[in-house]
Structures are given as structure tokens and as C-alpha cells.
Structure 1
Amino acid sequence: MAIKFYAPHWGNKLPFSTFCANVKQAGYDGVETHLPFEPHEKQEILQILADYELEFIGQYWQSLEKDVNEHAKNYEKYLRHLAEVNPIFINCQTGKDYFSFAQNKRLFDLASNISQETGIPILHETHRGKALFAAHICQQYLEELPELKICLDISHWCNVHESLLEDQEEAVTLALNHTAHIHSRVGHQEGPQVNDPRGPEWQEVLDRHLAWWDKIVAKHQQEGTDLTITTEFGPANYMPVLPYTQMPVANQWEINVFMMNLLKERYA
């Protein structure tokens, strides 16, 4: 059983080649990002990843359309666009929190069909505003669609439920058992991202997240399956900022590298 670590491109302002050089030097295995449709830009990104021997996780987040028919049309367009370049898998922020069960199921079914057709695994992220926005809602989908595999970003649920999910054990356990990919952001009762997980004031919250991730790692170890982790602490305004100046209170890159090294040491 191996664990591989991926850097989020989200928040990067450096040239992509410089970013990838930093990613490689830091010890990551790859990058998680979306891809532009413009052919030259897309090919340049793929070539730079190859030059630095970095793996690619395709990321879909563009869930914007309110009309479900238009939404499904664009969802399929983006998934096929990512699948054609053979990422190790695609991570999707699928659906909408205000879509009905049937409407979101239509999207899950569409992703499943594309995955079977292309051979590219497609995972679904537990993200605010999307289909799997809350623990109890995700539980309903996983019970109805047990083949679903998820990217667990449990920081969102801490925020949605305004708790560390002490009263959602059944739903959380089911989600842990369906997790194939982790976004290792640390959320809290009042937000999806603590200002700095290195701060002692966040130790209890960090330990709670580590305990969840420990269970996922243990399951993959028992089953002999590999696990992937993206250290997805985000930039401002996910990263809290100071008033007036809007300066981030901590360094996104440093925190993500800290999280990778913390987890590498923990699961060595």
C-alpha cells in the first residue's frame, strides 16, 4: 500500500513551470488541477508536468448552471475533456445542494458511464454547495449508490454542521469507507479552513481530522489499496485575511508543505 501526495494548483500565481519545479523539489508526486480548453495552453501544462515527472489529477469544479439539463451538458463536456488526457483520476465537485436527489443522481450516473467508457476513475468531492455538501446527505447517496467513491474534504462538513461531527458518526464512518482520495484541509466549526494548522490553538481540531484520516489509511492498508492525498489549503479568502489590507494571515504554500510532511511522517 502506497500513499502519494499532490499539490493543489489552486492559488498559484507563479509561472506553471516554476510552480512545478517547486512541487517536485518539495517532494510531491503530482498536481491536482483543472485544464484549459485552449489546445496550446492544455498541451503546455501536460508537457511541463511530464518534464518534471509529476502525475496529474484532473479537477472539475465548474458547477455553475442552475438548469439541470444545461448543467449535465457542461458536466459531460468537462469530464470528457479531462478524461481524454488520461489523468490518474478525475475529482469532481458534482451537482448542486439545491438539486433534487434524482437530479444529482443523473449526474452521478453520467459520471459512472463516462468512467466505464474511458477507463478513468471519477471521484466525487464532499464540498459545500455541491451534491455531497453535508454528512447526512452524503449518507443517503452512498446508501442508494454504494458504488460511489468519494474525495473526502471533511473540512466542509465541519463548517456546514457547525461541529466536529460528534453526532454524525454513522454518516462519517460510511464516508470514510468510501474514500479513495483525501483533501487534507483542516476545517472548524465556523469555517472550512483554520488560519494555520501549526497553531497550538487548533491542536484539538487538527487531531480530530487526523483521527478521521487515520481510519482511511488503516482501511487502505488492510485492503492493500493505494491512497492519494492533496494538501488543499487554499488562498485568500479561504485563507483568512487581515482587515483593510486583505493580507493573508499565513502562507498557503508553507502550510500545504507542512501538511504533506506531517502526513508523510505519520504514515511512514
Structure 2
Amino acid sequence: MLRSQWTGPASLENLVTQTVTDGFDGIEGPIPQSVAEQQRYKKLLADHELFFIAESTTGGDFGSPSDWWIPRPDKTIADHLSDLRWTVEHAAEMGALFVSTMCGYDAWSWSQNVDFFGQALELESSSGITISFETHRGRSLFNPWITRDLLNEFPQMKLTCDFSHWCVVCERLIDSEWSILELCAERAMHVQCRVGYPQHAQVSDPRAPEYTEALTAHERWWDLIWKLQAKRGMLQTTMMPEFLWDGYMQTLPYSAMPVADVWDITCWMAQRQRKRFMEKSTVEI
């Protein structure tokens, strides 16, 4: 059970302390740019026996103070591949389990997507570093159907499944696409367990009774992933509760006060899914 770097303090020392104190097994986040910071981060992770998943975000404006993660229309396929390649080239040195990438662009044509993912998978093969591609709004895997088609085109392609994004893109809970969910589960490398609903990629608080249907639906999809991961013999499964502040957490008008506490929800979700996984693994899986 990992936590997102984006929900923690900016200080690496404080981030690691919070991660350990609240019972997480590791961190998912970007690799620092400087060699000195990479070495410091790697030592902190090793000293506390924490796992690390290297996050790669491609094609954004990384100098922007806001929305830097949004893909820019002027970024080429080569630009996206260059961003991904940088993370892949540094992942082994950081001791990362694998690279999880929010990549591509929702406006790309089919041929552009085939070009990008073909080259990305060649990079995976030549580097020996596993790459897991995230389902995310604004990106190539922004809806179930393009994801299905790309998975069929590339049998070796693996997924970081964050189905919360598809709920808002499709404006419904996505049990209607069960055959695609099964295909995704067969390729699932990693799960980001945010809960979305038809009008937003993040419920304000998954513990609230008004979101029971959405929480139950997501847990049904995660159970499917666990079942099919076990069936194909995966010895390690990773999950990250990714509830976020910026734009994800609803706020009160005028005051901009968040309506719930993101870190409290994150810890609750981690504990809940850890307990559910242990029950599933001993009874069903």
C-alpha cells in the first residue's frame, strides 16, 4: 500500500516520516531532477524500507506554476517519449518497482497513439524497466474504448487503473463496460484507488452515505483486478489511494475551504482496502 507524494509535505524527510508513521509501505511520485536530491531520496527510502514507484508525466509545461501536468497541444510524440525516457533511465538507480506514467494526449489520432505506445513499449523492452500506463482524463487512455483498442493492439501493454476518471468522462459508473473492465483487470499492474462519480473524478468523502453506490462500484472493479492478478500468478500487487487537494477536493464558495480532509480520507481508504484484500486473499482469491 503506497501513498502519493502529492498529498504530503514538500520536505522529503517529512514526507517519509509521515508515510512511515501512518502505516504506508511506500511512495509513488516523480524522481527528483538533481542527482543530489535523487541520492538523498533513495537513501531515505532505503533507510525506512519503503517501496517506490516512479511517476512519469509526459508532454506538460513543467515550468508552469499551475496545470503543469496538462499535456500541451504543441508537444510532439517525440517530446512525450523523451519525458518518459528520462524517468525510465533513472528508475533503476532509484530502486523503483516500476514506472507508472500519465502519458499521451486525448486529442491524438489513432495512428498517433499507435506510434507513441509502440515506441514506449520498445523503450520498456530495451530498458528492462516495466512501464505501466495510467487511465486518466486528458490523456490517451481517457476513456474505456480507446483503452480497449490499444490493449488489443499491444498485448504486452500493462495498466495503472484509475477508473475514477472514466466515471466522469463517461458520466456514469462504468459497470456498463464490464468486458472492458475485465480486459483492463487482465493487464492491471497497479491500482490508484480514488473514488469517482458521474460528475467528478473524486467524491468529497467516500465514507459519506450518499457515495455508497460509487464506493461499492469501485471496490467491485478492484476486486476483479485482484482476482485476475492472482489468477495470472502475480506475487505482488500494489495500490495507492490518490485523493488530492488541488481541484479534486470540493471547497466551500468564497472561503475555498475544503469540505473534507484529504489525508484523513487517504489513510481511511488505505486501511479499508488492506483489510478487504486480506479477507479476499484468504477466502476468494
- TM-score, with structure 2 as normaliser: 0.87
Distance change >3 Å, CA 14–CA 74, structure 1 → 2 = closer
Count of residue correspondences = 264
Paired residue for 1:176? 185
Distance 1:243 1:76 in 2: 42
Q: Secondary structure of 2:94's match?
A: coil
Distance change >3 Å, CA 73–CA 222, structure 1 → 2 = closer
Contact 2:167 2:196 in 1 (8 A): yes
Distance 1:16 1:22 in 2: 10
Which runs of no fewer than 5 residues in structure 2 stay unpaired? 61-71, 279-285
Paired residue for 1:57? 53
Distance 1:21 1:73 in 2: 33
Within 5 Å, which residues of 2 pair with 1:157-196?
A: 157-196=166-205
Paired residue for 2:66? none
Residue 115 (structure 1) shift: 2.1
Residue 13 (structure 1) shift: 2.6
Paired residue for 2:141? 132
Distance 1:165 1:44 in 2: 42
Paired residue for 1:33? 29
Paired residue for 2:262? 252
2:75 aligned with 1:79: no
2:278 aligned with 1:230: no
Distance change >3 Å, CA 200–CA 79, structure 1 → 2 = same
Contact 1:7 1:31 in 2 (8 A): yes
Q: Secondary structure of 1:10's match?
A: helix
Tell me which of 6, 24, 29 is aligned to 2:20. Answer: 24
Tell me which of 88, 91, 94 is aligned to 2:103. Answer: 94
Residue 14 (structure 1) shift: 4.7
Residue 38 (structure 1) shift: 1.3
Distance 2:83 2:11 in 1: 28
2:78 aligned with 1:69: yes
Higher RCO (CA 8 Å, separation ≥ 6 residues): 1
Distance change >3 Å, CA 115–CA 67, structure 1 → 2 = closer
Residue 179 (structure 1) shift: 0.9
2:275 aligned with 1:265: yes
Paired residue for 1:10? 6
2:224 aligned with 1:215: yes
2:138 aligned with 1:116: no
| Structure 1: 4+ residue segments shifted above 4 A | none
CA offsets 1:188-238 (integer angstroms, 9 cap, x no match): 000100001111110111000000111111122233312110111111311
Q: Secondary structure of 1:31's match?
A: strand
Paired residue for 1:200? 209
Q: Secondary structure of 1:166's match?
A: helix
- TM-score, with structure 1 as normaliser: 0.93
